[in-house]
Chains A and B, each alone.
Chain A
């Protein structure tokens, strides 16, 4: 092979790999990306049951109901709408009434959000970023802060 041919093999091979990787990224991205929604988004967009989303907001005070075998139900609100959430498992340390929460899962046919995970990651103000922004959109940022600090 001449130098030129060798270089073509190298460049051609690289392009093929990069192209395949790009195709892979695009397909996988379409299938695995999860959109974040506030309770109002869920109501306004009339989400199909079964669509995986992240639902974030505040845990509505007084809405937590524990069942058997670690089943728990609570409502997530952004001050305008509230969505009932059902989850089975251990809740994160910082899960409290009036505090921000992000859950991932899908709506069932009865309009209950079946969460597979309740996220424990918070920033230093114990408010997930998405939740803070969603609340601000609803104009409830100050309320929520007051709510959060009134709780010990």
Chain B
């Protein structure tokens, strides 16, 4: 019964979405306030119905209703409650329901918080947003019904894929989807602007917080996913350049570009046409990511062939929205007024540089991810494009970009002074050189280029500090005055500096981990000692442990420093799930500062010995701590935006006072 309610609610949501996709846009064309007024309540009601549907599915999971196919295939009555709930989106159908839930949530948020938007813009945005929702609701109902029933309900379910039975599943997919799907708002805004044929700085001010919110969630989601893969897969890697990962990275890169170009548009009324294009591209890449992951085209051409409806359906959605958006763009973009002239060396110029390199870097990832698929489709030849490709193409482009990062915020708008900025960055250059020198002096081994990368990281971090220092003037001015200026700095300025600082932190973590990672693979007998760097691990033997729906074989390792000081115990496990007869490796981690000892078990032998994979990963935590800085920077910037709503916009007044700067073309 509950499942049927969920199914019915989903159908009603589709009906509402169709109405909301047509009526408000018509109303906007005719300037009919009543028709446009449909959008708001419809968006909220749509969210309510999808939420009911999602709740119904969650309920079926929590009570282990195995008469629902989806629950039977992905759950087990003995599974802990948290994994019953997270299991809702640990499968294709459920994750698509989560997808539309978040889509509807964003739509409803625009409806609720967008009351100060011009009526036609709001109606068009909600209309476009709802059109996307309608397409995906139809996809779910037509090809991936999560509420399908089994005639004879089995007594027990087939359990969730063991790799997914982890707290990571509770956090990673929802965050990732909020990011992915959140970009639909900037897409809807872009399409609405194209429909109206009008776009101004105010448009950018409305779009930026939504883009920022999505970007924050996507950053956190990707970072969380990376940490999850790191401890869950047992291979010590944190990024594999796997197509599924690339599918989430591409919207992030272009979304980052969008974030920066929206700043130019908001502050200087320039780069309008380009910003619109980026907004379309970002969500197109989100859709592409959904297609790659959900059509099964990556895991198996075979699956695609066995269930072609899904792949073809998403492909049709993809073609409709991306094709339609670009068509509209081609027709309308030339009508949009260009504005805001600037010299190549200027804040705008730096942001264009950022956009150029980000989009190019994204293009290399795009080629590396899709070329194998295209080649296979065309010639049948199988190739794999692995990490070396991405490291050698994406890497250099990003390094060039990172070199310019500290310059951007210090350059003046319109016309900047690169030499002057370079002078102000002296301390950053010094820090970079110092980083290189210290690394060469202190650390042995590793790639020759690694110290330079450490220097680059130091340069970026100090550069971000200089950005704040220059604005506050801590040395130039008396301390009190400087503090007052620091307090008066807009939060978005703090946000920029914190996020840029985070890039340096992440880079440092990446360089340290990849350059000075130590690996030991050994077969150990009980009582034996393995040494790695300055640590000594004593193997105390294997033991069995029974979990809720699994059995563990655990190994106990006592960790000491080489001086004999005890540091604790590492207990990695081999975990077997009888329901699927599958085994996973549970790694154990010991954190010391920002570095980690990482151990995972191989096959246990009959005589009680076991092979272990042991890593010392220097500064590895900085990789994720840096992304936390980026997220914090985003949140700071977002909070600033909210405070500024309704405040006067001096930048705009200035702009309109000097019309000669913005000649219409």
The interface residues of chain A lying within 8 Å CB-to-CB of B389 are 28-29, 32-33
Q: Which of B203-237 contact A (CB under 8 A)?
A: 233, 235
| Cβ contacts A20-48/B at 8 Å (1 or 0 each) | 01001100110111111000000000000
Are A29 and B385 touching (Cβ within 8 A)? yes
Whether a CB of chain A sits under 8 angstroms from the CB of B649 is no
**Using a CB–CB distance below 8 Å, which chain A residues touch chain B?**
1, 3, 6, 9-10, 13-14, 17-18, 21, 24-25, 28-29, 31-36, 54, 69-70, 89-91, 93-94, 104, 120-121, 123-124, 129-130, 132-133, 152
CB-based contact B300/A91 at 8 Å: no
In the bound complex, CA of A33 to CA of B385 (Å): 5
Knowing A21-B360, A21-B363, A70-B523 touch, does A129 contact B302 (C-beta < 8 A)? Answer: yes
Closest beta carbon of chain A to B101's beta carbon, Å: 24
In the complex, what residue of chain A is closest to B162 when comparing beta carbons?
A93
Interchain CB contact under 8 A, B300 and A132 = yes
What is the bound-complex CA distance between A121 and B243, given in angstroms? Answer: 12
* B317 contacts partner chain A, Cβ-Cβ < 8 Å: no
Interface membership of B611, Cβ < 8 A: yes
- The answer to whether A28 and B392 touch (CB under 8 A), given A21-B360, A132-B302, is yes
Residue of B nearest to A18 (CB): B360
Looking at the assembled complex, report how far the CB atom of B382 sits from the nearest CB atom of chain A, in whole angstroms. Answer: 3
CA distance A24 to B357 in the complex (A): 14
| B517 on interface, CB distance cutoff 8 Å | no
A89 contacts which of B368, B521, B574 (Cβ < 8 Å)? B521
Whether the pair A54, B384 counts as a contact (CB closer than 8 A) is yes
Q: Does B364 contact A25, Cβ atoms closer than 8 Å?
A: yes
The 8 Å CB contact of B344, one of A9, A89, A123, A133, is: A9
Q: Are A123 and B299 in contact (CB under 8 A)?
A: yes
Q: Does B343 contact A (CB under 8 A)?
A: yes
Residues of B at the A interface (CB closer than 8 Å) are 161, 233, 235, 242, 299-303, 341-344, 352, 356-357, 360, 363-364, 367-368, 371, 381-386, 388-389, 392-393, 396-397, 521, 523, 574, 581-585, 602-603, 611, 613, 663
Which one of A1, A32, A104, A124 has the highest number of Cβ atoms from chain B below 10 Å of its Cβ? Answer: A32
Given A91-B603, A152-B581: A6 in contact with B382 (beta carbons within 8 A): no
Q: Given A14-B356, A133-B302, is A25 in contact with B393 using a C-beta cutoff of 8 Å?
A: yes
In the bound complex, how far is the Cα of B161 from the Cα of A93, in angstroms? 14
- Taking a contact as CB atoms closer than 8 A, the residue among B384, B396, B611 that contacts A70 in the complex is B611
**Which among A17, A33, A70, A104 is the interface contact of B356 at CB below 8 angstroms?**
A17
Tell me if B384 and A124 are in contact (CB < 8 A): no
Complex alpha-carbon distance, A17 and B506, angstroms: 25
Complex alpha-carbon distance, A112 and B371, angstroms: 30
29 contacts between A and B (CB under 8 A): A1-B343, A3-B341, A3-B663, A17-B357, A21-B363, A21-B364, A21-B397, A24-B392, A24-B396, A25-B364, A25-B367, A25-B393, A28-B392, A32-B386, A32-B389, A33-B384, A33-B389, A54-B382, A69-B523, A70-B521, A93-B574, A93-B582, A93-B585, A94-B583, A120-B235, A121-B242, A124-B161, A129-B301, A129-B302
Instruction: State A93–B583 Cα separation when bound (angstroms).
Output: 6
Residue of B nearest to A90 (CB): B602
Give Cα distance in the complex from A121 to B357, angstroms.
32
Q: A18-B363, A29-B385, A124-B299 are in contact. List 12 more A-B contacts (CB 8 A).
A: A13-B344, A17-B357, A24-B364, A29-B367, A32-B388, A32-B389, A34-B386, A70-B611, A104-B384, A120-B233, A129-B299, A132-B300
Q: Which of A17, A28, A124, A132 is most buried by chain B, counting CB atoms within 10 A of its CB? A: A28
Instruction: Report how far A13 CA is from B235 CA in the complex, Å.
Output: 42
With A36-B382, A90-B611, A91-B603 in contact, is A10–B302 under 8 Å at CB?
no
8 closest residue pairs by CB, A with B: A36-B382, A90-B602, A32-B388, A123-B299, A32-B389, A28-B392, A129-B300, A21-B360
With A10-B344, A21-B360, A21-B364 known as contacts, the answer to whether A123 contacts B521 (CB < 8 A) is no
Whether A32 lies near B385 (C-beta < 8 A) is yes
CA distance A73 to B348 in the complex (A): 59
Q: Separation in Å of the A73 CB from the closest CB of chain B? A: 16
Report the Cα distance A35→B381, complex, angstroms.
Answer: 8
- Complex Cα distance, B368 from A32, in Å, reads 11
The reply to whether A90 and B341 contact each other, CB–CB distance below 8 Å, is no
- Select from chain A the residue with minimum beta-carbon distance to B574: A93
B364: A residues at CB distance < 8 A: 21, 24-25
CB distance from B281 to the nearest CB of A (A): 15
Contacts of B585 in A (CB 8 A): 93
Q: Name the B residues within 8 Å of A6 (CB-CB).
A: 341-344
**Pick from B393, B582, B611, B663: contact of A28, CB under 8 Å:** B393
Which B residues are CB-close (under 8 A) to A89? 521
> Is the beta-carbon distance between B383 and A36 smaller than 8 angstroms?
yes
CA distance A129 to B302 in the complex (A): 8
Q: Is B393 a contact partner of A35 (Cβ separation < 8 A)? A: no
Query: Can you name the residue of chain B whose Cβ is closest to the Cβ of A54?
Result: B384
Closest to A68 in B: B523
With both chains docked as a complex, state the minimum distance between the C-beta of A5 and any C-beta of chain B, in angstroms.
10
For residue B385, which residue of chain A has the nearest CB?
A33
Q: Which residues of A contact B360 (CB under 8 A)?
A: 17-18, 21
Partner of B352, one of A10, A123, A132: A10
